[in-house]
Amino acid sequence: MTVTIKSAEEQDKMRTAGRLAAEVLDMIGDYVKPGITTDELDRICHEYITGVQDAIPAPLNYRGFPKSICTSVNHVVCHGIPGERRLKSGDAINIDITVIKDGYHGDTSRMFFAGKPSVQAKRLAETAFEAMWLGIEELAPGKQLGDIGAAIQQHVEKQRFSVVREYCGHGIGRSFHEDPQVLHYGRRGTGMPLKAGMTLTVEPMVNAGKAAVKLLPDGWTVVTKDHSLSAQWEHTILITGDGYEVLTLGADARQAGP
């Protein structure tokens, strides 16, 4: 397994890419309303990334992916392809943004609701958000990959939800997906030790029902096998000398401080 340790200069470029990715999510939130199509959300994000940010939308043409963002609605777990589907009141949608700036990637996603969500959808999204942060808080030099997954799994299952096994977080930098794989389940004290200078994503996918998923014939869209709701949040994180730095915080979180 080859893991890249980022130099100080590379870390600065990762900060820039991460900030830009977060700014796209800050921007698009106001557009998530009943009646808009996921294709329109994709177009707005694409124009913002390429026109305003002078950056590159990483998903576009990545291994044949046809759009600039991923839009995963309700029971779609991840990698939803934007299209003609119109959001209905109460729909939950994960918008996943990855931008490339000066050769480096920033990767982040958030849950949004079109109108008022159901009680279950809101609770599921909150649990996935809490689980992501519990995983992030495990990041520090000397900790191990298994510590991240264990913290996430314990919280999710305590809420009687389930963690998707087949898809995981990953190292990131010049490449969209680098080593290591960051599982969202596992046992403490197992897996690769973490080192300062590593950059990776933590992005748990949490299902209201069972953990099983299936891939649709389009080769990208992943859905829950039992058609239950799914939720996901994602941040790109730098491991520092004494802990971690989240590179994809939105404007509100950055202003709030630690």
**Is 79 inside a domain boundary?**
yes
Q: How far is residue 99 from each of residues 13, 109, 126, 189, measured CA to CA in Å?
A: 12, 12, 25, 33
DSSP state of 207: E
**Is 1 inside a domain boundary?**
no
**Is 130 inside a domain boundary?**
yes
Q: What is the pTM of this model?
A: 0.96
Q: Quick one: pLDDT band at residue 255, thresholds 50, 70, 90?
A: low
Q: Quick one: pLDDT band at residue 253, thresholds 50, 70, 90?
A: confident
Please state the rounded mean pLDDT for residues 11-20.
98
pLDDT tens-digit profile of 190-213? 999 999 999 999 999 999 999 999
d(Cα 216, Cα 29) in Å, to the nearest integer?
Answer: 27
**Is 16 inside a domain boundary?**
yes
Enter the tokens of residue 107. 């990767």
C-alpha dihedral over 212, 216, 219, 221, to 10 degrees? -70
**Is 255 inside a domain boundary?**
no
- Distance from the Cα of residue 187 to its chain's centroid: 22
**Is 241 inside a domain boundary?**
yes
The full length of the chain comes to 258
d(Cα 14, Cα 103) in Å, to the nearest integer?
Answer: 9
Alpha helices in 97-195 (DSSP H): 119-136, 145-158
| Residue 177 near residue 171 (C-beta atoms within 8 A) | yes
Residue 157 clears pLDDT 50, i.e. is over it: yes
User: Which range of residues forms the domain containing residue 225?
Assistant: 8-250
**Is 73 inside a domain boundary?**
yes
DSSP state of 193: B
**Is 257 inside a domain boundary?**
no
Residue 248 clears pLDDT 50, i.e. is over it: yes
Count of domains in the chain? 1
CATH number of the structural domain spanning residue 128: 3.90.230.10
pLDDT tens-digit profile of 115-148? 999 999 999 999 999 999 999 999 999 999 999 9
Phi-psi region of 227 (alpha: psi -120 to 50; beta: other; left: phi over 0): left
CA angle 148, 27, 129 (to 5 degrees): 25
| Residue 82 near residue 67 (C-beta atoms within 8 A) | yes
